[in-house]
Chain A
């Protein structure tokens, strides 16, 4: 079975600070990995995804994530956050034997102080 763990439940940063949100997954085979963002009162939207190839993936709004297979990790990063990045961030995994099922982590609430 596949599972995802996000260790940071709440993160508070000041504007211009750098961001790194942790994501570790548990699955023995090939994986597709995703980061979704949920702005207050809205639905989940895709930030970026990894299927294969370059393990450093660039997404929208200056976000990037690095797939480190040996560590089963897919951490999300942004060099300089803005107040508008205040949201909840979800990491998700789809394993190659899991059909099309996505498993989400528990989410990380990010608050950026102006």
Chain B
């Protein structure tokens, strides 16, 4: 398996534009996490899906951010409109999600470095 695949790897956009980040899970994994990493705030969990259902979105900064899982293997994170303070590295991670003593290890993608100017 190629691992968790994120696209694009780098994105530079102007303030006010819509940005869509994409993530392909590892085949067979059923949990999906979106994280944001900045120097100031470290690694922050934005949203967590289990079996395509959002379980915890308390980390989503505001209504400008939305995330979807249209199917079991793919997710998008959308920012509309984007602002300079959204500049960060966004990581997607997936987990086999067996929970309760099973394998809950998260596998991370390479990340998308977003710059909003």
A67 CB–B CB distance under 8 Å: no
Are A104 and B45 in contact, CB atoms less than 8 angstroms apart? Answer: yes
Are A96 and B101 in contact, CB atoms less than 8 angstroms apart? Answer: yes
**Chain A interface size range:** 20 to 34
Provide the bound-state CA to CA distance between A100 and B51, in Å: 11
Provide the bound-state CA to CA distance between A101 and B95, in Å: 9
**Chain B interface size range:** 20 to 34
Q: Give a binary string over B43-75; 1 marks a CB under 8 Å from any A CB, 0 the rest.
A: 101001010000110000000000000000000
Q: Which A44-69 residues have a C-beta within 8 angstroms of B?
A: 44-46, 49, 51-52
Across-interface contacts of B103 in A (CB, < 8 A): 51
Across-interface contacts of B48 in A (CB, < 8 A): 99-101
Are B43 and A90 in contact, CB atoms less than 8 angstroms apart? Answer: yes
Q: Give a binary string over B83-115; 1 marks a CB under 8 Å from any A CB, 0 the rest.
A: 000000001010101111101111111110000
Residues of B near any A CB (own CB < 8 A): 30-31, 33, 35, 42-43, 45, 48, 50, 55-56, 91, 93, 95, 97-101, 103-111
Residues of A near any B CB (own CB < 8 A): 30, 32, 34, 36, 42-46, 49, 51-52, 90, 92, 94, 96, 99-104, 106-107
